[in-house]
Structure formats: C-alpha cells, structure tokens
C-alpha cells in the first residue's frame, strides 16, 4: 500500500477512526482459468485435429475401461482395502493400470513429460506434497508412484475412478467434518510411519488453482513431523490453459480442448527433501509454511492466504453468475480477525448482491443508502467512507465483510447510530 493510498485512507476514515490494517489481495484470482478462444486460429486447429481427437478419445476411453477392469482384477477378494497394506504381489497387479494412466495422459496430448530432480526413496521421505492444477496431476503421480493419496470422501463413489482410488488405498476425508479431518490426520501418520505402505501423497492446498501462485497449505501433511519431498507440477501453454478451477471450463470441454491441441506441455520437478526442525514438529503450520515458501521460490511465484473455503465461495459466485474474483475473501487472512464459516460467507454474498443494483460487484453510495433504507446524512457518509478505504467511491464485498467482522475492534470509536447502520448493512 503506497503513501498516497494511506493518505486517502486517513481522509476517508473521518470521525470513525482509522480502519484496521489488513492486507487484501485485490488483483489476483487463483480460481480463474485465463484461457481465451483465439478465434480463427483455434477454430481452424480444431477442424484440422478433429480426426486426431476422435482417435485420442477412443484411446482414452479404451484405456480407462481397461484400467478399470484390471483394477477390479487386482482387488479381487481383497479385504480391508483402505486399512491394511497390500502385499507386493497385489501391488504388482496394479502395474498395467499405471501404464493405462500414462496412456490417458498421452491421449490428452501430454506426449512427453519433462522430469527434473530425483524422487526420494520411501524410507527417506514417506510423504510427498505437490501443487494441484488439474486432473492430469493425480494421473501422473499415480503412474509414477502408485501412492496412498488423501482425497475427498465423495471421490470414492465416482464411477470407474472410484475403484482406482480405492486401489490406491486412499485416505478419504470429509473436509466439512472436524472428526473426519482428525481421523484422516491419524491415518496419514499411521501410514507414513510404516514402510509396508507406499508414499503418502497429499495436495496441501486441498483444491485446484491455476498454478500461478500457491494458496494456503492445510497442516495435515505436516502434522506427523516426518520429512517431506515437494513436487512442482507446471503446465506451459500459449492457447490452452489446462487448469481445472471454479471459474473455468467444465471437465468435458477441458478434455476436448486438450485433445485438439498438437501437444500439451507438462513438467515435473522433484525438490530436495525438507526435514522439520524441533519447533516445526510441535507446530505443523510453521512447517507447512516453510515448505510452501520453498516451493514458491522454486516456482518463482508468490503466495496468498486464499484457502479451500475461497474456492467454495468462487464456485458459489460462478453459480450466481458474477465474477468469482469479486467474491474471494482470502479466508486465511480473514480468520485472523475472527472465525468465519463458508455458509455464512455465502449468505452474506447473496445479501450483498441484492444491494448491488448495478451488478458490478461493488456498492456505490447510492446503493448503500438504498440498502440501509435511511435518508442521506453526514453520519451515513462517514460510515460509507469508513468502508471505502481508498476513497474510490465504491466498496467491494470483501471490504464490507472485513470491516464489519472487525467492528468489535473499532466499536469504541463508532456512535450507537453508526453501529446500527453497520448491523443493518451486513445483516
């Protein structure tokens, strides 16, 4: 925030005092696919590659079905699939399925994949962590490592893919349930401790992003206090962004676009093993942050405080047909003020949209006085300027939420009438 912005903030605060210092990432949306359909060139390329796409699609479907049948064979008469490690002979039966996964990547245009670094042996780094961009990430990691993955509970019930996920002896978690998250954390530690299991593979962001930065890491991979090996997955592109995110193409269109490219670029880099120090074994979030910063430096990118909850809010924004970027809060930063649930954020977003008559994702002063249903007065102007931190003439959804949630910090400097107006606006 530069000095001019701070000067405007001081001017805008008025009699209500100085707004609390909260860093907001106003410029970048990690859940948006920036793919643009480049007119004549893309149309011509799609027409030219349609016969190739048909062949690729047939190969993809055939390989997927073959992998499913081989998985069912490998699981034949297997018991306690998710709780007991497979014997080596049963794991060997999964080798053809892993090859099918590589064929699927080939059919999607990933003809060769550039590798950098050395995968660590399981006894040196029992836990692997990676950024998560698209569906191709777990396909590659399944082919390369056949790891134990941590996945959302509902993925176990997916047709075809659900059986393959079970064959990976996945740790299923319901991200909404605290009990489920604790059970998953215990399972991660138990399986990471025992060399009879494969590597434990975790996407600590807990959702996909567009790969241009790293959002907040969940602590689950770092709670056991074991060494981890970070993996960086990158996709270089000119015409086709392969990320699978909230504000982006559906999976079928994404597959179609990938199969109508001449070639899609993917690179995988294995970073050196990171060992936790004594303080980090006691504070998993500290360990998670060090690993995240190490990965960000290697990717030459930045980090933000967006979380899985922001991804959920982005999906809600897409459903409401508004720009998802205008709805993001950076929950990691927001929760420093006070805990806040996604369902409450969705409710507030719906109310905010009813106030936003112009549907621009921000409130003008006219929208504001109409929303609070009070006549224009100097007190209303002061309250509005308090929200309008940079004196821009409009306030965003995140500004309303941040400042209203922190109004206990400023309650001593706001009159009773001002508090009533704030409550009317946000409730």
Residues 90 and 164 in one domain: yes
Q: How far is CA 247 from CA 57, 100, 208, 362, 427, in A?
A: 25, 30, 11, 19, 28
Whether residue 329 is contained in a domain is answered as yes
Look at residue 414 and tell me whether its pLDDT is greater than 90.
Answer: no
Whether residue 257 is contained in a domain is answered as yes
Boundary residue ending a domain (273, 299, 325): 299
Residue 4 confidence class, pLDDT cut points 50, 70, 90: low
**pLDDT mean across residues, the chain:** 83
Boundary residue ending a domain (299, 324, 352): 299
Q: What pLDDT is attached to residue 31? A: 93
- 317 vs 361: CA distance, rounded Å: 10
Whether residue 400 is contained in a domain is answered as yes
Residues 183 and 250 in one domain: yes
Residue 162 confidence class, pLDDT cut points 50, 70, 90: confident
Whether residue 5 is contained in a domain is answered as no
Whether residue 290 is contained in a domain is answered as yes
Look at residue 25 and tell me whether its pLDDT is greater than 70.
Answer: no
pLDDT in tens, 372-381: 677 777 777 7
Residues 373 and 356 in one domain: yes
Whether residue 93 is contained in a domain is answered as yes
Q: Which is more confidently placed, 373 or 106?
A: 106
- 222 vs 31: CA distance, rounded Å: 25
Whether residue 6 is contained in a domain is answered as no
Q: What pLDDT is attached to residue 243? A: 94
Q: What CATH number has the domain bearing residue 356?
A: 1.10.238.10
Mean pLDDT on 141-148: 94
Identify the helix (H) or strand (E) that includes residue 172.
strand 171-173
Q: What pLDDT is attached to residue 427? A: 55
Residues 329 and 291 in one domain: no
Residue 31 contacts residue 311 (beta carbons within 8 Å): yes
Residues 178 and 212 in one domain: yes
Residues 109 and 158 in one domain: yes
Domain coverage including residue 70: 40-299
Look at residue 27 and tell me whether its pLDDT is greater than 70.
Answer: no
Look at residue 299 and tell me whether its pLDDT is greater than 90.
Answer: yes
Q: What pLDDT is attached to residue 388? A: 73
Whether residue 412 is contained in a domain is answered as yes
Backbone phi, then psi, for 106, in 5-degree steps? -60, -45
Residues 357 and 273 in one domain: no
Residues 207 and 234 in one domain: yes
pLDDT in tens, 76-98: 888 888 888 888 888 899 999 99
Residues 73 and 221 in one domain: yes
Residues 327 and 277 in one domain: no
Residues 81 and 171 in one domain: yes
CA–CA–CA angle 297, 299, 303 (5° rounding) = 65
Boundary residue ending a domain (299, 326, 361): 299
> Which range (112-126, 196-210, 312-326, 403-417) has the least confidence?
403-417
Domain count, the chain: 2
Look at residue 39 and tell me whether its pLDDT is greater than 80.
Answer: no
Residues 277 and 322 in one domain: no
* Phi-psi category of residue 245: left, alpha or beta, with phi > 0 → left and psi -120 to 50 → alpha: beta
Backbone phi, then psi, for 304, in 5-degree steps? -135, 175
Residue 115 confidence class, pLDDT cut points 50, 70, 90: very high
Residue 269, beta-bridge partner list: 116, 232
Q: How many residues does the chain have?
A: 427
pLDDT in tens, 347-398: 888 888 887 766 667 778 877 777 767 777 777 777 777 777 677 777 778 7
Q: What pLDDT is attached to residue 366? A: 79
Nearest-CA neighbor of 258 among 244, 272, 275, 278?
244
Residue 405 confidence class, pLDDT cut points 50, 70, 90: low
Q: What DSSP character marks residue 232?
A: E
Residue 279 confidence class, pLDDT cut points 50, 70, 90: very high
Collapsing DSSP states into helix, strand and coil, what is residue 147? Answer: coil
């Amino acid at each position: 925030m530069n000095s001019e912005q701070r000067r405007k903030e001081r001017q805008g605060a008025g009699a209500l005092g100085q707004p609390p210092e909260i860093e907001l990432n106003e410029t970048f949306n990690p859940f948006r696919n920036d793919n643009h359909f480049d007119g004549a060139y893309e149309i011509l390329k799609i027409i030219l590659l349609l016969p190739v796409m048909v062949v690729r699609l047939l190969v993809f479907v055939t390989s997927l079905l073959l992998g499913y049948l081989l998985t069912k064979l490998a699981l034949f008469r297997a018991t306690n699939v998710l709780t007991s490690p497979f014997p080596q002979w049963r794991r060997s039966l999964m080798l053809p399925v892993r090859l099918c996964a590589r064929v699927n990547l080939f059919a999607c245009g990933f003809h060769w994949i550039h590798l950098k670094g050395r995968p660590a042996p399981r006894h040196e780094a029992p836990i692997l962590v990676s950024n998560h961009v698209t569906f191709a990430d777990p396909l590659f990691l399944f082919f390369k490592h056949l790891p134990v993955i941590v996945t959302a509970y509902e993925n176990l019930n997916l047709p075809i893919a659900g059986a393959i996920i079970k064959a990976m002896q996945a740790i299923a978690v319901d991200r909404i349930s605290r009990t489920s998250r604790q059970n998953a954390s215990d399972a991660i530690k138990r399986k990471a401790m025992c060399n009879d299991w494969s590597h434990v593979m975790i996407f600590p962001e807990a959702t996909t992003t567009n790969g241009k930065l790293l959002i907040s890491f969940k602590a689950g991979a770092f709670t056991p206090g074991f060494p981890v090996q970070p993996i960086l997955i990158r996709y270089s592109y000119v015409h086709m962004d392969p990320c699978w995110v909230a504000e982006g193409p559906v999976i079928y269109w994404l597959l179609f676009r990938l199969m109508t490219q001449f070639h899609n670029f993917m690179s995988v880099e294995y970073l050196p093993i990171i060992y936790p120090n004594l303080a980090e074994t006691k504070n998993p979030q500290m360990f998670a942050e060090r690993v995240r910063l190490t990965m960000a430096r290697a990717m030459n990118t930045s980090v933000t405080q967006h979380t899985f909850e922001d991804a959920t809010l982005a999906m809600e924004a897409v459903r409401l047909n508004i720009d998802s970027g205008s709805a993001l809060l950076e929950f990691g930063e927001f929760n420093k003020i006070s805990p806040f649930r996604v369902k409450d954020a969705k409710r507030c977003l719906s109310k905010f949209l009813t106030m936003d008559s112009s549907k621009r994702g921000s409130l003008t002063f006219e929208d504001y006085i109409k929303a609070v249903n009070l006549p224009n007065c100097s007190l209303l102007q002061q309250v509005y300027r308090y929200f309008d931190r940079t004196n821009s003439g409009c306030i965003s959804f995140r500004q309303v939420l941040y400042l209203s949630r922190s109004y206990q910090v400023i309650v001593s400097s706001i009159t009773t009438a001002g508090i009533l107006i704030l409550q009317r606006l946000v409730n």
